[in-house]
Every structure is written in structure tokens, then in C-alpha cells.
């Protein structure tokens, strides 16, 4: 039995990983190309100072604590010795090294392997047909009795700040490795909420543009935003089942004291999932409205062209008749014939213009 099982559950403040709006920090540079970007041993919720990574697991087992090892984009060779020391399953190691996984939770022997998609909103001055709105990365988490290993892929999603905040909350860390998994998941999901809120502003801007008095063609921008929203959906939707499993799973890897924490994360996943679905539906409606408006504008242009063609046809027909150069034609030699024909043309064109104007063709 670990120390986390002996302590009673502690109440926690909301948003333990950090204040709302805290950015996903850029990934730190790996020192000397080493994959390990962070390592700490925690006993009774507090970090043990001056522990070398090579001695971390042994120290954690001897003192009934756990190791939090942070890796950034390790290669196969770099991860091999770590996987052997911590007894990680080869299939999970392969997934962690090569990334590009969908969010999931796998159980291997007495450990868990969790994949989370990290997201960040890409600022842009104006949404265009080629704007990148959502950038994604990955965080893989190995969970065992005396260790938690986080493996990050991507240029964002650094966990150094999260580690510092957690070290100031020993009441949470005393629950063991699952507390780190909870904090990472909560941080990732909080950023889903922020990205969805930022994309909602883009949707509002497009909606205002589509229904503005000015004539605009926003179909390409709408389609691009819909594609970017799909990236966010691929990160959020599959995460519902892993969070559900963490709230229901029995065993010592995730103590029952932590299940309510993961249930809270699951509630946020469901909320942002519903928000994404609503945004996608709204974007579809706006896209249809944009296409309908474009079609209506094209029809209006065709009606105007047809109306002016009908007006011009009258003088063209009269001029064509008198341009046939026959010798005997009505009023051909009459002095008032020319102004009379011009008057007839003007009167006919004026009547046609008034009729088209009343019908809305002009």
C-alpha cells in the first residue's frame, strides 16, 4: 500500500493546473540533445531534492513515493533504456516514440498508457481561406505504481509550469502518479475550452460578414474554419471514453479518491464536445446561407442583365428596320420622321425601365 492510499481525500480548488487562460508553454530545448526535460521524486506530496534520474525509481520505491519523468520527443534508442528500467510495454513505447495517435487509454499489466491531444489557438490578423487556426501536439502518459512518465510531441504543451504549480500543492500530489495524470488532463482540456471560445469569435465574425449589407464571398473562409474545427473535434471527442474509464476503473493505479477528479475533467470534455458540435452545426448553416446569398446575387445580376437587354432590344429593332435601306418605307421622306422615331424609342425604353423597376428587376 502506498502513502497515497493511507491519506484521506483532500478537497481541491477548481482548476488545479493553473488559472484560466494560462497558455500552453513552449517546449523547452532539450539539454545536449537528451530526451529528459524534467525529473523529480515525490514522497508524501513533496519533492525530494537532489535525486539523479538514474537513481529516481530506486529512491521512489525505497521511500514509498513516485517519480515524475518528463520526456520530449525521444527517439527509439533514447527511450530504450528508460522503457527497460521502468518495465514499459513495447507497444506503448512504440506509440509514444512515433506519436500520431488518437486520444486513448490502454492498460498493460499493472500500468496505464494514456494519449492526450494538446491544442493551441493560432492567432491571425484576418481569417483567410488558408489560415491555420488550430495547432495540435500530443502528450503520452505512462502510469505505474511508483512512476508517471510524460512524453510530449510538438512545439507547445510544455509541462514545466504545471510541475511548479503542482509542487506547491502537496495535498494533491500526495495522491500519487494519478494526481499528475489528472493535472495534465485537466490542463489539456482547459485549453480545449479556450481554443473553442476563440474559434467561436471567428464564427461570429464570419456570420456578421455573411449577413452584412456588403456583397462578400465567404464560402472558402467558412470551409477552412470548418476544417480547423474538425482538428479540434478529433482531439476532444475520443477523449470521452478514456475519462469515463478513469472514473470507473478499479484498482490501485487510480485510487478511488481521484475518480471524482477525473469525473470533473470528463464533465469539461463533454461540455467542450457539445460546444464544438454546436459550432460545427452553426458553421454549416452559415455556409448554406452564404451559398444561398451568392446564388441570389447571381440571380439578381442575371435579371438586371436581362432587363437591360430587353430595354435595348426596342431601339435596336427600330434601328434595324430603318437600316434595311428600302426605297419605299413609311415616313422615309417626312421631315418629322427622324425625331418621331427617336421619341418612340425613348418612350418605349422609359416604359420598359419603369416596368422592370417596379418588378424589382432593376
In this structure, the answer to whether residues 225 and 84 fall within a common structural domain is yes
The confidence score (pLDDT) of residue 32 equals 47
In this structure, the answer to whether residues 177 and 326 fall within a common structural domain is no
pLDDT tens digits for range 112-150:
999 999 999 998 888 888 888 999 999 999 999 899 999
- 37-41, Cβ contacts within 8 angstroms, sequence gap of 24 or more: 37/70, 37/71, 37/72, 37/160, 38/68, 38/69, 38/70, 38/159, 38/160, 38/163, 39/67, 39/68, 39/69, 39/70, 40/67, 40/68, 40/163, 40/167, 41/65, 41/66, 41/67
The confidence score (pLDDT) of residue 281 equals 92
Domain holding 309, by residue range, is 300-359
Q: Which of 293, 328, 351 is the last residue of a domain?
A: 293
pLDDT tens digits for range 332-343:
666 666 677 777
The confidence score (pLDDT) of residue 328 equals 59
CATH number of the domain within which 148 lies: 3.30.460.20
The confidence score (pLDDT) of residue 34 equals 58
In this structure, the answer to whether residues 159 and 203 fall within a common structural domain is yes
pLDDT tens digits for range 313-326:
777 777 776 666 66
In this structure, the answer to whether residues 325 and 270 fall within a common structural domain is no
How far is residue 199's CA from residue 121's CA, in Å, rounded to a whole number? 8
Share above pLDDT 70 across residues of the chain, in percent, rounded to a whole number:
81
In this structure, the answer to whether residues 243 and 173 fall within a common structural domain is yes
How far is residue 146's CA from residue 68's CA, in Å, rounded to a whole number? 9
The confidence score (pLDDT) of residue 294 equals 72
20: CB partners within 8 A, 6+ apart: 190, 194
In this structure, the answer to whether residues 218 and 286 fall within a common structural domain is yes
pLDDT by 10-residue block (mean), the chain, 362 residues: 37 40 44 72 92 90 93 89 91 90 88 92 85 91 93 82 91 91 94 93 88 78 90 92 81 78 93 94 87 71 75 76 64 67 78 77 69
CATH number of the domain within which 339 lies: 1.20.58.340
In this structure, the answer to whether residues 26 and 121 fall within a common structural domain is yes
The confidence score (pLDDT) of residue 105 equals 92
Q: Which of 238, 270, 293 is the last residue of a domain?
A: 293
The confidence score (pLDDT) of residue 335 equals 66
The two beta strands, 147-153 and 111-121, are unpaired
Among candidate residues 105, 99, 48, 49, the one with its CA nearest the CA of residue 74: 99
In this structure, the answer to whether residues 202 and 221 fall within a common structural domain is yes
Q: Which of 237, 265, 293 is the last residue of a domain?
A: 293
In this structure, the answer to whether residues 121 and 54 fall within a common structural domain is yes
The confidence score (pLDDT) of residue 298 equals 65
| Domain count within the chain | 2
In this structure, the answer to whether residues 216 and 331 fall within a common structural domain is no
In this structure, the answer to whether residues 328 and 282 fall within a common structural domain is no
Query: pTM for the whole thing?
Result: 0.74
In this structure, the answer to whether residues 216 and 347 fall within a common structural domain is no
Spatial contact of 361 and 306, defined as CB atoms under 8 Å apart: yes
Amino acid at each position: 500500500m502506498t502513502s497515497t492510499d493511507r491519506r484521506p481525500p483532500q478537497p481541491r480548488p477548481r482548476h488545479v493546473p493553473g488559472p484560466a487562460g494560462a497558455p500552453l508553454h513552449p517546449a523547452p530545448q532539450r539539454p545536449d540533445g537528451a530526451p529528459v526535460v524534467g525529473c523529480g521524486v515525490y514522497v508524501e506530496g513533496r519533492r525530494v531534492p537532489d535525486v539523479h534520474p538514474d537513481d529516481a525509481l530506486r529512491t521512489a520505491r525505497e521511500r514509498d513515493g513516485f517519480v515524475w519523468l518528463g520526456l520530449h520527443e525521444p527517439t527509439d534508442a533514447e527511450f530504450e533504456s528508460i522503457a527497460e528500467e521502468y518495465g514499459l510495454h513495447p507497444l506503448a513505447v512504440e506509440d509514444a516514440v512515433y506519436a500520431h495517435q488518437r486520444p486513448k487509454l490502454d492498460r498493460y499489466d499493472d500500468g496505464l498508457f494514456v494519449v492526450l491531444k494538446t491544442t493551441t489557438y493560432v492567432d491571425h490578423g484576418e481569417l483567410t481561406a488558408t489560415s491555420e487556426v488550430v495547432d495540435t501536439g500530443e502528450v503520452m502518459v505512462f502510469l505505474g505504481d511508483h512512476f508517471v512518465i510524460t512524453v510530449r510531441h510538438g512545439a507547445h504543451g510544455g509541462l514545466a509550469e504545471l510541475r511548479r504549480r503542482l509542487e506547491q500543492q502537496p495535498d494533491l500530489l500526495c495522491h500519487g502518479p494519478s494526481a499528475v495524470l489528472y493535472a495534465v488532463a485537466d490542463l489539456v482540456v482547459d485549453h480545449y475550452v479556450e481554443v473553442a471560445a476563440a474559434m467561436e469569435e471567428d464564427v461570429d465574425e464570419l456570420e456578421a460578414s455573411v449577413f452584412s449589407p456588403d456583397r462578400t464571398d465567404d464560402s472558402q473562409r467558412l470551409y477552412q474554419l470548418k476544417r480547423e474545427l474538425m482538428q479540434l473535434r478529433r482531439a476532444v471527442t475520443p477523449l470521452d471514453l478514456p475519462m469515463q474509464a478513469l472514473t470507473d476503473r478499479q484498482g490501485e493505479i487510480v485510487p478511488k479518491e481521484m475518480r471524482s477528479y477525473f469525473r470533473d475533467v470528463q464533465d469539461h470534455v463533454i461540455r467542450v464536445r457539445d460546444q464544438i458540435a454546436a459550432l460545427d452545426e452553426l458553421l454549416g448553416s452559415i455556409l448554406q446561407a452564404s451559398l444561398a446569398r451568392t446564388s441570389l446575387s447571381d440571380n439578381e445580376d442575371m435579371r438586371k442583365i436581362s432587363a437591360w437587354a430587353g430595354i435595348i432590344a426596342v431601339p435596336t429593332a427600330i434601328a434595324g428596320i430603318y437600316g434595311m435601306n428600302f426605297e419605299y418605307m413609311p415616313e422615309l421622306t417626312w421631315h418629322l420622321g427622324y425625331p418621331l422615331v427617336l421619341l418612340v424609342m425613348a418612350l418605349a425604353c422609359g416604359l420598359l425601365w419603369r416596368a422592370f423597376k417596379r418588378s424589382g428587376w432593376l
